[in-house]
Amino acid sequence: MNTVRIFLFSLLGAFAISASAQDGVSFFELRTYHTNDGKLDDLHDRFRDHTCKLFEKHGMTNIGYWTPNDQPETLIYLLGYPDLESRKASWKGFLNDPDWKAAYGKSIENGKLVKNVESVFLKPTDYSKMPPLTRSDTNRLFELRIYTTNEGKLDDLNARFRDHTCQLFENHGIQNFAYFTPVKREDEAANKLVYLISHNDEESRNASFKAFSQDPAWIQAKDESQKDGPILVKKGVQSTFLTPTDYSPVN
């Protein structure tokens, strides 16, 4: 699997955000924490015992927490907010909370846990329908996929997912979770789709994608969508498998 590298996109002005399946949540943030050696378990403890509850206290919605299978010492998680201004206010309140300061101080008595943090702001696509945030007895295998399109082709890619891909995924046992485009500055080209899907396990995932790729309906949809040129850049698909943590709202 390719290593997923998520970059922080700065924002200018206001952005129109489409509706989310989660009440009051229409602005998202995908955060990646790279820990110092041997500190991932301590970071999990801090999130499990303190951080997640404090996020909720300050109006953030915990959606999912995962460890990437091919990236040791890494935590990836997804938060939701009503909008960008709410996000700013929530983080200000969180960082100034005495309970957070105490938990943070205690957790780093033997050294800092996090080496660096990466973040990207996301808006849901109009076809993203996030399911209820519930835990089950068995963990699913999640997959984070990032597609990079050729210039001007993101609308074509979204149309293909909206009209064909999402339903074909479901037909072949691939569970849609959420679809986003990064929120960028107005002077940057919009050329990425970021989405999460889930599977029962890696074996069923591989079988599902094999059947999907050979489905005549998919082949036709793909060919028709690219009649004016390829949608994705060369090597334009990044993918990583994600294992839910024991404190993730979804698993």
pLDDT, one tens digit per residue, over 42-72 is 999 999 999 999 999 999 999 999 999 999 9
Q: Is 208 helix (H, G, I), strand (E, B) or coil?
A: helix
Residue type, 181: T
Q: Interior CA angle at 195 toward 189 and 201, to 5°?
A: 150
Q: Interior CA angle at 242 toward 236 and 245, to 5°?
A: 155
Tell me the domain boundaries of the chain: 27-244
pTM: predicted TM-score of the whole model, two decimal places: 0.89
H helix intervals, the chain: 40-46, 52-57, 84-95, 98-107, 154-160, 166-171, 202-214, 216-225
The pLDDT tens digits of the residues spanning 175-230 come to 999 999 999 755 556 799 999 999 999 999 999 999 999 999 999 999 999 999 99
Q: Which fold has domain 27-244?
A: Alpha-Beta Plaits (3.30.70)
DSSP 145: E
DSSP 161: I
The pLDDT tens digits of the residues spanning 86-112 come to 999 999 999 999 999 999 999 999 999
Is the distance from CB of 32 to CB of 8 less than 8 angstroms? no
Residue 155 CB neighbours (<10 A): 11
Q: Is 58 helix (H, G, I), strand (E, B) or coil?
A: coil
